[in-house]
Amino acid sequence: MPIVIAISGKRKSGKDYCTNLIREVLVQKRFDVSVAGISHSLKMEFAKKHGLKYEELLTDGPYKELYRKDMIQWGEEARCKDSGLFCRAAISSTMDSDIVIISDCRRRTDYEYFSANYRTVTIRIETSEEDRKQRGYQFVEGVDDAESECGLDDYKFNLVIKNQSGTDLSQQLNMVTEKISRIIDKLKLPINKE
């Protein structure tokens, strides 16, 4: 059973960027690491249901923004019926990995699912609103004030990474890998270190 690194953060905080950096550091340490996203399974089902371009919904471009509110509403309705639906779909293809990074947790139910079923490290990516705006963020009513963006604002995370202009991420990434290494040592897990 993999260790799960569950990452959250506001839009344009750099979740994907930090996920990739964390993955690179862990791979360099010879861990078998997979990355999965809760939103990918949601977007796939949403695209099928509405005849949309799945690949375009995965991008950070304007196509996704056209459908963001509708996807959020549709996803909320699906989660009301089964809160672990998209979490299960996200991790299902990565079970052979030692470590799975879930790059886009947005709700308490996401963390509840992973914490109940896996050894989980929760990480919050934070940045200033000014940095977010420089990355293209603009407040959208019904999106940025919805649970998908605000549901974890007061959650107590295991680690917080500050992804801001002028901040060196290397020390913060070392904290992540040290924590993962301690968990592995504590659990005496066989890790694929060749």
Residue 10 annotated as binding site: yes
Residue 88 annotated as binding site: no
Residue 51 annotated as binding site: no
Residue 12 annotated as binding site: yes
In the block, tokens 């109940």 appear at 116
Residue 79 annotated as binding site: no
Residue 15 annotated as binding site: yes
Residue 68 annotated as binding site: no
Cβ atoms of residues 34 and 99 within 8 Å: yes
- Which residues neighbour 120 within 8 Å (Cβ) at sequence distance 6 or greater? 3, 4, 5, 6, 111, 114
Residue 16 annotated as binding site: yes
Residue 14 annotated as binding site: yes
The binding site comprises 10-16, 135, 163, 172
Residue stretches of the annotated binding site for ATP? 10-16, 135, 172
Enumerate the known binding-site residues for substrate: 163
